[in-house]
Each structure stands twice: as structure tokens, then as C-alpha cells.
Amino acid sequence: MRSFNGSLAPDLRQDPARPAAESSRERRFYRAYGLTISSEVALPELEATAPAAADVVIAVGPIDYPKPRSEAGTAFRFEPSRQYLAWDAVGAFLVSDARRIDIEPAPGIDDQLIAFPLLGPVMALLLHQRGLLVLHASAIAVGGSSAIFMGDKGAGKSTTAGAMISAGHGLLTDDVVALDLSRPDEPVIVPGFPQLKLAADAAAAIPIRQAEVRPQAHPAIDKAQHRLHGGFAGDAVLATRIYILQRGDKAAASRLPGPGALSAIIKFSYVTRFGRAALVGDFAATHLRQCAALASQIGVYRLEVPTGLERIGEAVALIERDLAVGDGSR
């Protein structure tokens, strides 16, 4: 196991060269994904830290950037060093130079709603720019091992993660899983922040102690944010297992062969949600190389999770047994 300090390149430890525009907003400092983040958006989801040289600056104000044509209320534009994302209902985001996020909120939108895309796809793209492999998944630390849960929408990634936390294991990250592959033979999961999003039925069925349920940001958002005050694993952990979740009659796991493992990692990598257009410049080759390296180093399993929340413990027990057997061998 090794720690991760976010220093992917020496110059990224310095404050970004482009200063923030004059703003009446309070600037706060946070830690997440091994980075010091200076933000004009209030992000209580993250862990607060003392002011310091920022790896990432989040600023609020007008975005001076050619806005692409909006279709269906969204607009995306990808360049090698800049990525523009806009949702008519929330606002526009410009990720630049792997260290800055500019935000132009839609009228009347508060920080709580801005945080949803900011800490999801926007942050995922920034981490991707910084050279990390980013998966749309949840990750749990189990002793010195780890479990990454991937799957289609509704497969139960966060629910399974919540059940693991309830069983005494630690959350590494939910929704955005960032892996440091600077040592290809030792892929490391970088811890995110202590929040888990759960649907109401899952939250009722899975008791998570020392968790604060935050107010609903918007009626259309069907999951509640659970801010953990315990059960968070703050240290980087070697990636041990990836589980592709699907519903089944009983808890069962089967290892995917090499081609199937690589295909699954590519499918559930975060950047592929935006299509081929997001893999600009050298990113396409780098991304494929990272996915192949991960698939070759750790076990990728299809995990059947029994239907019914009352049986989620069966999946937890199977994962614990599998990690105990596979610990150290990956």
C-alpha cells in the first residue's frame, strides 16, 4: 500500500497561473482525491482543510468561451486542455489545464444543486485530465484490500457499498472512482470524500451509523446524500477486485476472462459516458492503455446480487470471503 499526494506533475502543486476574477463569494479549502481544492462553491460534501497552495481552483463567474449548440438542454465540447459542459437547468462548467474549473450558474441555482454535476462528471473529467483512470463506480476498503462495484444504472453499486459500510468496512469513494496507475503493477484507488448517495428504500434497509442525511437538492433527484461521520477510508488502497453487479437468484461470483474484463472496464470508465468525442488528442491511446493495464493486474468478476434488499447480506458475505482468499494475489 502507498499514499497518494496528488502530485501528478510538479507544476500542478502550484496555484494556477490565471487568477480568479474578483468575486464576493467566500473561498473555502477542501481535500478530496488527494488534492487541495480552493473553491468559491460551498462543498460541505468534502472534507474541509486549512488554506494552502491549491492543486485545483473552482471559480464562479462568466465563462468567456464559445458556447456550442445546445441540444436537449445540454452542451458539451472537448479539447485536449479544455472541456466545456453545460446543463440548462444548472449552468455551464469549463475544466481547463487539469487544475481549474470555472462555473457560470444558471439563474437562481444554489451551490447545493451546482455540486451535483461538479462532484460527478465535471470532477471526473478533471481527474481524467490529471492522468487518472476514472470509473463510474463505488469503492470500498476491506482491510488492506478493496472492492470496486460497477454496473448499469440500478444495478445496486451504492446499495452494495452501503451494505459493506454497515458491515464495518470503509468507503473509499462513491460514483467517481479514481485510480492512480503511475505504477502499472500496483493500481491504487485514490480516496474521494465521505458521502454515499442512497435511494430511500436502500437507506431504510441498510443501517449506516454516524451518517447525516443532507436536504434534497432537487425533487427530481431520487437519491439522498448521506454524509458519513465514520466509515470513511481516507488512505489510498491497492485495487484488488472489480465486481460487475447484476441481479440474480443467489449470491455468486465468476471471473471474467481477459477480453471480457477489458471490455467491462472500458464500458464503465467515466469518460466513455461522453462518447468518443471526449477522448481527444492522446487521451484515446492513454485511456485504452490504462484500461488494459488495470484488467491485467486485478480480478474482474461478474457478481450476482440476490434480488431483495433483505438478502444484500449474502452478497456482502461472499465479497468478504472472496477478498480474504484473494488478498495479496489480486
Q: Which string of DSSP letters, residue by residue, matches 241-253?
A: EEEEEEEESS-EE
Given a cut of 70, the residues of the chain with pLDDT beneath it are: 1-23, 325-330
Phi, psi of 113 (to 5 degrees): -80, -35
Measure the CA–CA gap between 160 and 313, rounded to whole angstroms.
9
Asked whether the beta carbons of 136 and 239 are under 8 A apart, the reply is: no
- State the pLDDT at residue 210: 83
Asked whether the beta carbons of 6 and 53 are under 8 A apart, the reply is: no
Taking the alpha carbons at both ends of the chain, their separation in whole angstroms is 13
- State the pLDDT at residue 154: 85
Asked whether the beta carbons of 166 and 206 are under 8 A apart, the reply is: yes
Range(s) within the chain of domains with CATH label 3.40.50.300? 133-326
Look up the CATH superfamily of 133-326.
P-loop containing nucleotide triphosphate hydrolases (3.40.50.300)
- State the pLDDT at residue 24: 81
- State the pLDDT at residue 215: 76
- State the pLDDT at residue 167: 95
- State the pLDDT at residue 69: 73
DSSP states of 70-100 = PBTTEEEEE-SSEEEEEETTTEEEEEETTTE
Look at the block and give the residue holding cell 476514472. Answer: 134
- State the pLDDT at residue 22: 56
Asked whether the beta carbons of 73 and 106 are under 8 A apart, the reply is: no
Number of helices followed by number of strands (H, E) in the chain: 7, 19
- State the pLDDT at residue 72: 74
Predicted TM-score (pTM) of this structure: 0.90
Which 8-state DSSP code applies to residue 154? T
